[in-house]
Chain A
Amino acid sequence: MIVETTDCLYDFRFQHAQLEITGRCNMRCQHCRAWHEARVDMPLELVKKALRFAMSEADDDFRLTISGGEPLLHRDLLDIVTAAKGLGIESMIITTNASLATEKILFDLDNLNVPNLAIQVSVDSVVPDKHDEFRGSPGAFSKAMTAFERLRGTKLVPSLRASLTPDTLPEVEALVQLAIEQGARRIGLGSVIPAGRGLDNHRLLMKPQQKREFLEAVAYCKKKYPQIDVTTEDPLKFALEDCPWDCGDGVDINDGSFFGGCTAGVSGFNVDSEGVVTPCAVFLEPIVNLKDVSVEEALEIYRTSPVIVRLAERRFSGRCGECHLKRLCGGCRAVARGYNQNYLGEDATCWLNGVSRSECQI
């Protein structure tokens, strides 16, 4: 895909896409990013169209995330995974609260023989009541643990995902230990992002020093527990003084062709249950609705979208614009959008060069 800016023609391929196959959910999570979305299932034909859209510009190691809402509520889930496999997608993740992860559905998913199909179970606290309250669903923790038990008898890849708040920040290591006990091969930890319902629940958002403590704790666990893949999507991890995550061999982080950290819209995109394409699942700037146009038309709209052009230019303002880590980190564009109503603004949760929260809306 070629994206034309004022002085460059950027040539890139999608590495991943996330499809929110349903807006329906059986929980009421305090931080839900999809809270505003219609409670509808994405029709199978629209799912297939979104897959064609992704694969027409996909990289060789493309990965697909099937999400929601709660994706296990979609009656065509098996057909969706089959369709993706049929297009050559070998690496998929299904994100779930696991309350509907019956032995039968896990058995059926396992029998589809996708080379790398991960079931990512959300667990946000090691304290059952705290997790249940955060998820707005009594018994949620117990159901998640049952799902991990059931996954042990399959070829599916068990994974744990935790969304942390200032309240659960001290639980990072305990969550990693829980993930190991439950047989998870990977644990992804992130902070609540000001998008969807998270935009209204300010007490769930970390302040800069809390964000630093959080990322330092995740980095500590990555080194301490090599038996599990401990990771975080937060681009600010590259601002740590002793960052254990590498950005690739032989790369020049100051080169204009290098895109690290937040690569929303460039490395991939999100599609909500109604077909609206956004740069990522929490960066909810609409680009095109796949329902309205052909795949070819959607690609043309995408590559000429002012949002995508600006993300390719990477000309940020505030501290992110002046930061020496601009290309390696870039700050979270969804955080910038949530705090500043400007997705090119600074990531207000960054601790570098002081804190300018007075300039922010929250």
Chain B
Amino acid sequence: MDVPEVAPDEFSELRCLCSISRHQQAIIKYVVQLESISGERMTKKIVKVKLGKNACTTSGSYK
């Protein structure tokens, strides 16, 4: 498999996920190229979610 640039360690779980569900082509920085079993290829952006301060955490609030 040709992997031009290794993703950050934080995406190890993603590599695992891809290896299970699809044939992983490559992870290039924040984009992953995927190929399905049927041969369909696609590119998806990897988004590391940033949660805002003072977001609603209804837990501990509404009762």
A, B from the same assembly = yes
When chains A and B are docked, how far (Å) is the Cα of A10 from the Cα of B48? 6
Q: Across the interface, do A332 and B14 meet the contact criterion of CB distance under 8 Å? A: no
Question: What is the size, in residues, of chain B's interface with A at 8 Å between Cβ atoms?
Answer: 26
B38 within 8 A of A: no
Q: Across the interface, do A281 and B58 meet the contact criterion of CB distance under 8 Å? A: yes
> Which residues of A sit under 8 angstroms from B50, Cβ to Cβ?
248, 251, 255, 257-259
A268 within 8 A of B: yes
Contact string against B for A residues 55-68, beta-carbon threshold 8 Å, 1 for contact and 0 otherwise = 00000000111010
Q: Across the interface, do B58 and A10 meet the contact criterion of CB distance under 8 Å? A: no
When chains A and B are docked, how far (Å) is the Cα of A163 from the Cα of B58? 12
Q: Across the interface, do A233 and B47 meet the contact criterion of CB distance under 8 Å? A: no
Contact string against B for A residues 251-268, beta-carbon threshold 8 Å, 1 for contact and 0 otherwise = 101011111111110111
* Chain A-chain B contacts (Cβ-Cβ < 8 Å), number: 143
Q: Across the interface, do A11 and B53 meet the contact criterion of CB distance under 8 Å? A: no
Q: Across the interface, do B62 and A9 meet the contact criterion of CB distance under 8 Å? A: no
Q: Across the interface, do B58 and A248 meet the contact criterion of CB distance under 8 Å? A: no
When chains A and B are docked, how far (Å) is the Cα of A184 from the Cα of B51? 27
When chains A and B are docked, how far (Å) is the Cα of A130 from the Cα of B34? 60
Interface residues of B in 17-63 (CB under 8 A from A): 17, 32, 44-63
B43 — nearest CB in chain A belongs to which residue? Answer: A7
Given known contacts A18-B60, A122-B63, A190-B61, A231 and B45 CB-to-CB distance under 8 angstroms = no
Nearest CB of A to B55, in Å? 5
A95 interface neighbour in B17, B32, B60, Cβ under 8 Å: B60
B13 within 8 A of A: yes
> Which residues of A sit under 8 angstroms from B63, Cβ to Cβ?
33, 67, 95, 120, 122, 161, 163, 281
A71 — nearest CB in chain B belongs to which residue? Answer: B63
When chains A and B are docked, how far (Å) is the Cα of A264 from the Cα of B45? 22
When chains A and B are docked, how far (Å) is the Cα of A123 from the Cα of B45? 46
When chains A and B are docked, how far (Å) is the Cα of A163 from the Cα of B61? 9
Given contacts A8-B44, A247-B53, A267-B55, 4 further A-B contacts (CB under 8 A): A16-B60, A65-B59, A253-B52, A263-B56
